[in-house]
């Protein structure tokens, strides 16, 4: 089991890469998240774009995951703006309860290596805690495979998504895995900083600093 990564005072651990901050969700993220999830291109490999209500409900679930586990799908902030999400969530889609890594960025942030950079850091974080992490998507989502391969995951198998109401184009899924023994996520993730003494710096947030920019 993952240790409790909520800090002693209840704050969520944040991760920092060369260009991105993976942080807890803020109410101001709701609007740009809803806009991202209404974009048909971003949602091309999902059943449909999300309505505003569906998008808000998704964020509520993500926040509940943080409350329960202390980690989750972090909000990704780039240059002070909300760019999307990446991170970890428990899933049973493969038939086993496994920790899944996922990512979704607004279109303006594609093509810059940001998903790879942020997800590589989340993967390294996760593999410090559990020995196996999975990711999956419709077999047609080639852009996604490339991220999975760049962060060091390997293709394991194809499987049928258990949701029978999914459109045919999404039923066939490809599963990628990363395991602690063989996966070496790129080194944008440093060892966690020393936990600050409780109450030593009020208002400060513990952050994990990336060691170096990604290189590909």
Ligand X SMILES: CC(C)(COP(=O)(O)OP(=O)(O)OC[C@H]1O[C@@H](n2cnc3c(N)ncnc32)[C@H](O)[C@@H]1OP(=O)(O)O)[C@@H](O)C(=O)NCCC(=O)NCCS
Residues forming contacts to ligand X in the complex (CB under 6 A) are 42, 45, 102-105, 110-116, 137, 141, 143-144, 146-147, 214, 216
Cα dist. 106→36, 43, 62, 194 in Å? 5, 10, 17, 33
Say how far apart CA 59 and CA 27 lie, in whole Å. 10
CB of 83 to ligand X, least distance (A): 10
Beta strands in the chain (DSSP E): 14-16, 20-23, 73-78, 81-91, 98-105, 132-138, 154-160, 172-179, 207-208
Q: Which is nearer to ligand X, 145 or 192 (CB)?
A: 145
Q: Which is nearer to ligand X, 104 or 206 (CB)?
A: 104
Q: What's the closest the beta carbon of residue 27 comes to ligand X, in angstroms?
A: 22
In the complex, minimum distance from the CB of residue 82 to ligand X, in angstroms, rounded to a whole number: 13
What is the token pair recorded at 88? 């970890």
Question: Least separation, in Å, of the C-beta of 94 and ligand X?
Answer: 13
SS3 state at 108: helix
Q: Which is nearer to ligand X, 120 or 206 (CB)?
A: 120
Q: Which residue is nearest to ligand X (CB)?
A: 113
């Amino acid at each position: 089991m993952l240790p409790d990564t909520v800090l002693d005072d209840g704050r969520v651990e944040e991760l920092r890469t060369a260009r991105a901050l993976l942080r807890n969700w803020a109410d101001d993220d709701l609007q740009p998240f809803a806009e991202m999830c209404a974009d048909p291109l971003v949602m091309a490999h999902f059943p449909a774009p999300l309505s505003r209500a569906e998008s808000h409900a998704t964020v509520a679930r993500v926040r509940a995951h943080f409350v329960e586990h202390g980690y989750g799908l972090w909000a990704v902030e780039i240059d002070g703006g909300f760019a999307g999400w990446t991170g970890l969530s428990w899933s049973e889609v493969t038939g086993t309860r496994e920790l899944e890594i996922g990512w979704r960025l607004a279109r303006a942030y594609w093509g810059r290596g940001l998903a790879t950079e942020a997800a590589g850091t989340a993967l390294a974080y996760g593999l410090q805690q559990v020995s196996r992490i999975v990711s999956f998507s419709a077999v047609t989502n080639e852009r996604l495979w490339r991220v999975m391969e760049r962060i060091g995951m390997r293709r394991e198998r194809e499987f049928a998504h258990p949701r029978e109401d999914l459109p045919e184009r999404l039923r066939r899924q490809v599963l990628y895995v990363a395991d602690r023994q063989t996966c070496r996520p790129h080194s944008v993730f440093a060892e966690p900083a020393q936990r600050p003494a409780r109450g030593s710096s009020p208002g400060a947030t513990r952050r994990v600093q990336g060691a170096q920019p990604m290189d590909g």
